[in-house]
A and B are shown apart, each in its own frame.
Chain A
Amino acid sequence: MSETRPVVEGMFDDEGLIGGACAACGRRHFPRAGSCPWCGEGAVTSARLSVEGRLWSWTSVHTAPPGYDGPVPFGFGVVELTDDALQVVTRLTEADPQRLAVGDTMVFTTTLVADETTSWAFAPVTP
């Protein structure tokens, strides 16, 4: 991983996603914000989010969207992090929708989105 850099600072590292936790309402969010996006309170601390979740929705992007120079098609979806009570928008390492199903177990990883640039992603756990 030493040859790559994250596409955005402070939102994830090789270990997982970095979100926020609200001291007032107890809920988590992603990415970490200056105040809680659910209740508006300012007492937010950093929280490492679960590295395992369940697939909630998914697609494959076949045409490079504006501002994106990486490979296509690529997988894209929403993974539910049950322990965090959060749904997270994410790249998926699997670009073939036929190989995915709702409820599939997914684990955190990173994926190349441009030369030497990575984003967070989730990968299906192969049985």
Chain B
Amino acid sequence: MSHGVEIAGTGMHPFGRHGAMSATTMGAVAVRRALDEAGPRTSFEAAFCGTAYGGVAAGHRVLGELGLTGGPIIDIEAGCASGAAALSLAAAAIRGGQYESVLVFGIEKMPKGMIRSSFFDPWREQAGLAATPAYFALRAQRLMIDSGITSDQLASVVVKNRRHGVHNDDAMFRKEVTIEDVLASKVVCEPLHLFMLCSPNEGGAAVVLRAGDGGVQVRAAVLRSHLPGHVLNEGSPLCGLVDGAPSAPTERAAQDAYAAAGIGPDELDVIECQDTDAARELLAYEELGLCAPGESGRLLDEGATALGGRVPVNPSGGLLSKGEPLGASAIGQVVELTRQLQGRSGARQVDGARVALAQTVGRGANASVVILTG
């Protein structure tokens, strides 16, 4: 027996910096809001919690605070795709008939500054070979060479997303910036300036999934890892092959998600993608098939990916506005897109949005693509 999977409720705890407040408390706020939105006396049979830095039994602590333990509670770590990994397992469990109702949430309270990860051996940190933004910068540099992207275009991605984020109460940065502001911010690793990088931060996000064929449907929730051979995949290997670089994890996740949903990139109305850095968003345009390889700069310049354009990308303001609480960010994307499909997004509403896609990619490498219809 196979079921449709619908999103019955959404909840957010704002992304930002919240002083002494714990990830547990932020998670509890998001979960309570999602359950309330799903309706009175909403219950769930199982819970999946995405977190990378939450520690042991992070999900139990959240549901313990709400008196909602008893069923299976499963913590899932998949780097920046942790929340989407949780969603993919939850959706599959409903589709397969195991559960009727599942809670999915993500939480994080990131240390300040450059992300430190147990992924790297101590010697690699000591050698200066574990600077995460430096790997982003190498990729950005290649995008500039391969796709003819300019510094102004990188800055324009930030300008676009920060303009979108002005309308998002749950975002960390809610002030517009100009190309000049972005290029005047300090250089972290050429060609990336500080404003071109998202800020690791804190927050929570939750959705309630339910078996059913109405409302906003989860049409695909796919997670893929990297194939060996590419030196700049998020697996951060120390070497790659000169020839025969395999397709990126996002490309593979997207192809599988399009096939599962029976939906192609031309049918998308609105997208939330992993704008960890400005170049990463442009790469996503190419990897998701929104444009041909090398055409991401043109798509941006045409305004196609801004609110009011053909296929707005990151109407929430993206991670560049919201910041990135790793475990929560992918669920935050799904919350945003669900509300877009329900026509609830106010000043940042994409008119008539019926088909939406969320993408994350990060440490592992892990990439996810979620397709929703409303």
Contact = CB atoms under 8 A, between A and B. Distances in A.
Nearest to A101: B145
Contacts of B243: 85
A7 B241 contact: no
A36 B203 CA distance: 40
B64 interface: no
Nearest to A19: B239
B113 to A, nearest CB: 8
Nearest to A113: B127
B130 A89 contact: no
B129 A89 contact: yes
Contacts of B80: none
5 contacts: A38-B228, A67-B120, A67-B122, A77-B138, A78-B240
Contact of A68 (B131, B186, B187): B131
B240 A76 contact: no
A58 B141 CA distance: 7
Interface residues of A, number: 43
Contacts of A88: 231, 238-239
A48 interface: no
Interface of B: 113-114, 116, 120-132, 134, 137-139, 141-142, 145, 186-192, 228-229, 231-232, 236-243
Given A66-B116, A85-B242, 5 more contacts: A37-B228, A57-B232, A62-B188, A76-B129, A119-B129
Contacts of A126: none
A96 B43 CA distance: 58
A104 to B, nearest CB: 13
A87 B242 contact: yes
B138 A82 contact: no
Nearest to B125: A67
Interface string A76-120: 111011100111110100000100001000000000011001010
A86 B145 contact: no
B114 A66 contact: yes
Contacts of B131: 61, 65, 68, 76
A2 interface: no
A53 B240 CA distance: 14
Contacts of B142: 56-57
A7 B127 contact: yes
B116 A67 contact: yes
A91 B129 CA distance: 7
A64 B133 CA distance: 11
A60 interface: yes
Contacts of B141: 57-59
A114 B229 contact: no
B241 A65 contact: no
A87 B123 contact: no
A8 interface: yes
Contacts of A119: 127-129
B138 A66 contact: no
Contacts of A97: 190-191
Nearest to B236: A89
Nearest to A64: B128
Contacts of A102: 145
B288 to A, nearest CB: 23
A122 interface: no
